[in-house]
Structure 1
Amino acid sequence: MKKQAFLIGAAACIILLCTFFAGCTDTDGGPEETPPATEGADDILEANTLFAYDLYHTLSSDKEYAEQNIFFSPYSISTALALTYEGAKGATAEEIRSVFYFPVDDAVRQEGYAALIAGLNSPDAAYMLSTANALWAEESYPFLPAYTGIAQQYYAAEVRNMDFISSPEESRLTINRWVEDRTEDRITDLIPQGAITPLTRLVITNAVYFKGTWVLQFDENKTQPAVFRTGQGKSVTVDMMQRTDDDAIYPYAETDDLQILRMPYEHESGKALSMLVLLPKDGDITTAEAALGTTELAEAVSSMEERQVEVFFPKFTLETTYFLPDTLAVMGMPTAFGDEADFSGMDNTRFLFITDVIHKAFVEVNEEGTEAAAATAVIVGRAVSVESPVPVFRADHPFVFMITDDETGMLLFMGRVADPTA
């Protein structure tokens, strides 16, 4: 599978962006008062966090991504696969559930996603945050109404009929335009040419977009060139933003190995969003990576207190593309990508399997704030089932022949015909 990412230095690691980390605090240090989440939403939040850490560790340990940037939306990937999981059965379903930590209870999982999606799409005048799902179904294929109904009811998914058989390329362009529209054109060409074929029966898409401004914006006039040490021991020059004034008050904590900073985004009536940054004191990114998912990190984050901090933070833009079948198979769900896949909850057959999972992400961080977008496509195809053409056996050139005893296989006569007229 082709994969792509971009280089990143190891001085700082952006672990979670926007809503991908629970426990955001307001700028006064106290917990933000938001409506209580349902039990299902809490379970989905926990599942998403666990999957995020697992995927991060899998990508960071992959030699293909050594010393490279990593950026992805765990929410986008897990939501697209949750829609896929709703149609999975047997071992296929169990493998997907184990990788993504989905609740076994259908009601908990489905109502949890419904609550989270509604919350993410709640308007706030201070920032833009939206997410959207869609099922793109081959118009001639009999998908079960129960499956598409779950997608619409609990995942707010659009269900659109497509002509993949006759118009795979036109279908691809239509889906890509939908993604572009819902990510403010930040995610383009999500599905590459050739990924959709006449055997494609379903494409599941998720898109998420965020644009927010810092509560404490940086002064562009104070941004200066500065040295950034990469994980390869090289030094590069970056545009370094800074807040060193008396008003630079941030939630902050330290451990023996890390500095932890939270940079909140402006908000009004909606949920509080922030960027959480783990900065290893020894300059080794593996120190921050090793802390992910640990009790020590959770305790440190929960103990963050507001205080004055002199902040120097680089401007950057990242664009990443991941083709995830191999990665997800390594993480524990290989069956979904082969002939043994069971997505009978979609169509009541065993013909379907996942042909690709594609994820693209974008983030730009500057003095004003952050813009981030991501999209995921799960492409489901049908196993090849084509009638064999009628063979033509034209013995108009020399051949070998044998006469055999069909019951025993005894070769009774054997010869070669070079010229039948001789």
Structure 2
Amino acid sequence: MYSTTLLFHPHTQALSFSSGKDVHADFQSLNADINSPSASYILKLANRLYGENTANFLPKFLAATQKYYKADMKAVDFIGAAEACRAEINGWVEQQTENKIKDLLKSGTVTPMTRLALVNAIYFKGNWMNRFDKANTKEMPFKLNQNESKPVQMMYQMKKLPYNFIDEHGLQILELPYVDEELSMFILLPEEAADGSDPLLKLEKELTQEKLDDWIKRENMDVHSEVLVHLPRFKLEEDYELNEPLSKLGMTDVFCSAKADLSGMNGEGGLFLSTVAHKAFVEVNEEGTEAAAATAGMVSFCMLREEHFTADHPFLFFIRHNKTKSILFLGRLSSPQ
């Protein structure tokens, strides 16, 4: 699961704000699809606004956030009780993520100058369609790089699972479906580099949405071979300040008090984005995934192939909602905990 908070501070120049309606409507539709009450997994997506109680926000803005994002506004006293507001926001995030995301906002991130906090939290828990037998889990080395390794609890199973090998990238891809196949975890495992370079870094530079879509199409994957899977149990917890990465993606004006254009929120301008805080938690074990996530093959008369998928070195993984093809979680495992 993960949680993200955007903190807005005021400035003196009045500016205007525009929005993309299609983006909002698409998110509304996605939210409805992935939060289906009949789903075989637990997925809670929650959004909330915390606004300074002396500030004015446009009814149109508040109505839109409620309609498209199910985000209500909570009036708080940022000016007089910034630290108490920070504690309240952190408490709400902790509750929404089943106590997995704690202290999202660090001390000093909420100040008397804060006027609005937009908070997003998502919690996911899903069980594998093919669970790993705990009796088969044993200690094995996980290679951090060419010179270092660490012991991990390595899970094992042999099943017919969707598998692909991309020869030109030296890349193995495995799909691990969750119950009912509404969601799947995909693991991208590059071959270890003989020259000591980082194969994950190379993969990340070469990876595009078009390539990924093609590689993981079910019709492009082998679904008939037995796959011998070794996958470490792992737990990841990371927190980030996303200002710099977002700026590198071209989102610069919103962080600048002289250029930000957010008057669509209050009708007056004077707001800019001060901080984007993000924290994520993912745990993978024999039962399935907690993240803050058997189809029989056709009978063949030829000799069955066996593929070996041994995730004993760094890999990328992501969890996808299969109906919408939306990636809900994306991560890099370099050192299992």
TM (norm. structure 2) is 0.76
Q: Which residue of the other structure, out of 286, 291, 297, is the alignment partner of 1:367?
A: 286
* Structure 1 residue 296 displacement after superposition: 3.8
- What residue is the counterpart of 2:301 in the other structure? none
Supply the AA of the counterpart residue of 1:301: I
Aligned partner of 1:354 in structure 2 is 273
Q: For residue 259 of structure 1, what is the aligned residue in structure 2?
A: 172
Task: Specify the alignment match of 1:111 in structure 2.
Answer: 25
- The CA deviation string for residues 227-254 of structure 1, in whole angstroms up to 9 with x for no partner, is 111136312111110003xxx1111111
Across the aligned residues of Structure 1 and Structure 2, the Cα RMSD in angstroms comes to 2.5
Residue from 325, 342, 350 that aligns with 2:243: 325
Aligned partners of 2:45 and 2:122 also within 8 Å: yes
Structure 1's 349 and 115: CA in aligned 2 closer, same or farther, altered over 3 A?
same
Report the secondary structure of 1:227's partner residue: strand
The structure with the largest helix share of the pair is: 1
Please give the alpha-carbon distance, in whole angstroms, between the structure 2 residues aligned to 1:210 and 1:204. Answer: 20
Q: Which secondary structure state, in structure 2, belongs to the residue aligned with residue 122 of structure 1? A: coil
Aligned residues: 277
Cross-structure match for 1:52: none
Q: Which ranges of structure 1 fall in alignment gaps of 5 or more residues?
A: 1-71, 94-103, 375-422
Is it true that 1:176 corresponds to 2:98 in the alignment?
no
Are the aligned partners of 1:321 and 1:360 in contact in 2 as well (CA < 8 Å)?
yes
* Amino acid aligned to 1:266: V
What does residue 277 of structure 1 align with? 187
Q: Do the aligned residues in 1 keep the contact of 2:15 with 2:268 (CA within 8 Å)?
A: no
Which is bigger in relative contact order (C-alpha 8 A, separation at least 6)?
Answer: 2
1:222 to 127, 133, 136: 136
- The structural deviation recorded for 1:105 is 4.5
Q: Which amino acid aligns with 1:260?
A: I
Which letter maps to 2:282? V
SS at match of 1:190: coil
User: Rg: which structure is higher?
Assistant: 1
Partner residue in 2 for 1:286: 201
Q: What secondary structure sits across from 1:349 in the alignment?
A: coil
Mapped contact 1:241–1:312 kept (Cα < 8 A): yes
- What code does the residue aligned with 1:234 have? E
Distance in 2, matches of 1:177 and 1:146, equals: 28
Q: Secondary structure at the match of 1:360?
A: strand
Alignment partner of 1:172: what SS? helix
Asked if the contact 1:238/1:314 (under 8 Å) is kept, the reply is yes
Local SS of the residue matching 1:310? strand
Distance (Å, rounded) in 1 between the aligned partners of 2:155 and 2:24: 42
Q: Contact 1:249/1:309 (CA < 8 Å) preserved in 2?
A: yes
| Greater Cα offset, 276-285 or 309-318 | 276-285
Asked if structure 1 preserves the Cα contact closer than 8 Å seen for 2:15 and 2:270, the reply is: no
Task: State the partner residue of 1:306.
Answer: 223
Residue 204 of structure 1 is matched in structure 2 by: 118
For residues 28 and 81 of structure 2, the distance between their equivalents in structure 1, rounded to whole angstroms, comes to 33
How far apart, CA to CA, are the structure 1 residues paired with 2:127 and 2:26?
28
Whether contact under 8 Å (2:62, 2:72) holds in the other structure is no
Structure-1-length-normalised TM-score: 0.61
Alignment-mate amino acid for residue 179 of structure 2: E
Moved over 3 A (4+): 294-297
Kindly provide the CA deviation profile for residues 132-177 of structure 1, in whole angstroms up to 9, marking residues without a partner as x.
Answer: 1111111110111111111011111121111111111111111111
Distance 1:265 1:89 in 2: 47
For residues 205-241 of structure 1, give each alpha carbon's deviation from its aligned partner in whole angstroms, at most 9, with x where no partner exists: 0000000111111111111111111136312111110
More off after superposition, 291-300 vs 114-123 = 291-300
Q: Write the distance in 1 (CA, Å) between the matches of 2:206 and 2:130.
A: 27
* Partner-residue secondary structure (3-state), 1:350: coil
The Cα shift of 1:124 comes to 3.7
CA gap of 1:296–1:118, structure 2 versus 1, over 3 A, is closer
Q: Deviations over 1:168-192 (max 9, x none)?
A: 1111111111111110000011111
Percent identity over the alignment is 41
Unaligned stretches of 5+ residues in structure 2: 9-13, 194-198, 294-337
Q: Which residue of 2 aligns with 1:34?
A: none
TM-superposed deviation, 1:300: 2.1
- Letter of the aligned partner of 1:350 in structure 2? G
Q: SS of 1:200's equivalent?
A: coil
Tell me the distance in 1 between the aligned counterparts of 2:15 and 2:132. Answer: 51
Residues 1:125 and 1:301: Cα distance change in structure 2 (over 3 Å) = closer
Amino acid at match of 1:263: L
Given that 1:278 and 1:288 are in contact with CA atoms closer than 8 Å, whether structure 2 keeps it comes out as no
SS of structure 1 residue aligned to 2:27: helix
The one-letter code matched in structure 1 to 2:241 is F
Does the CA contact (< 8 Å) of 1:89 and 1:342 recur in 2? Answer: yes
